[in-house]
Amino acid sequence: LVPSSIMAVILGTAASLALVRGRVPGATFITACLMLPIVVPGMITATALFGIYRGLGLNGTLTGLIIAHTVLHIPYVVATVSSALRVQDAQLEAAAATLGAPPWATFRHITLPLVMPAVASSLLVAMILSFDELIVSLFVSSARVRPVAVQMWSNLLGDFDPTIAAIATVCFVFALLVLVADLALRAGRGLRLT
């Protein structure tokens, strides 16, 4: 789901900035809590979300599915963007502040361009993971709200449906286009292709 991937990137990037650049008390504990969706088995997460959603009336809704996928993908964004922020020279931001740049301008003109590759790659990872997420999607989706993974799984349970072959072809072509674009960018910059 694209909305959940975008939400995960926005929230994960904000959390990364706060945890790496800010003076947040308990930053290590907060980071560990943000990483829990990676550590906790999918079946436990799905069961917990099902119970919580039942009380909130979010089972079988698009909103519930977007929230679930967002929560599941925030850890990947936090890990990627935090790593990029840690290797980035913090003195560049300090220099901008010394020269009178407000925090938002510093973020927009210095921090964001430097971490943009990490943000873009985490968006791609979140989209791929969202496309692939079956267990949680089975628990929180419905007949009206069915992500691609659930649709493919239900088609596999019945007779062969050419829809699965079509989806697999689209996925393959998309992956091939991304690979060709990456190779073209590397060749254009004079980088080795190995």
**Count of domains observed in the chain:** 1
In a domain? residue 80: yes
State the Cα–Cα distance between residues 112 and 126, nearest whole angstrom. 19
For 28-83, how does the pLDDT look when each residue is reduced to its tens digit (9 = 90+)? Answer: 999 999 999 999 998 999 999 999 999 999 988 999 999 999 999 999 999 999 99
What does residue 121 show for φ and ψ, rounded to 5 degrees?
-70, -35
What does residue 146 show for φ and ψ, rounded to 5 degrees?
-130, 110
What DSSP string describes 41-53?
-HHHHHHHHHHHH
In a domain? residue 95: yes
In tens digits, the chain (194 residues) has pLDDT values of 789 999 999 999 999 999 998 889 999 999 999 999 999 998 999 999 999 999 999 988 999 999 999 999 999 999 999 999 999 888 888 898 889 989 899 999 999 999 999 999 999 899 888 888 888 888 988 878 888 788 778 777 776 677 777 877 887 898 888 888 878 877 777 656 55
Domain that holds residue 138: 2-142
Residue 65 has a pLDDT of 92
State the Cα–Cα distance between residues 184 and 194, nearest whole angstrom. 13
In a domain? residue 184: no
In a domain? residue 127: yes
Report DSSP state, residue 109. I
C-alpha torsion angle, residues 70, 14, 121, 30 (rounded to 10) = -70
Cα→Cα distances 151→16, 33, 85, 128, Å: 34, 31, 38, 16
State the Cα–Cα distance between residues 117 and 164, nearest whole angstrom. 32
- Whichever domain contains 80, its CATH number is 1.10.3720.10
Q: Do residues 122 and 10 touch, judged by C-beta distance below 8 A?
A: no
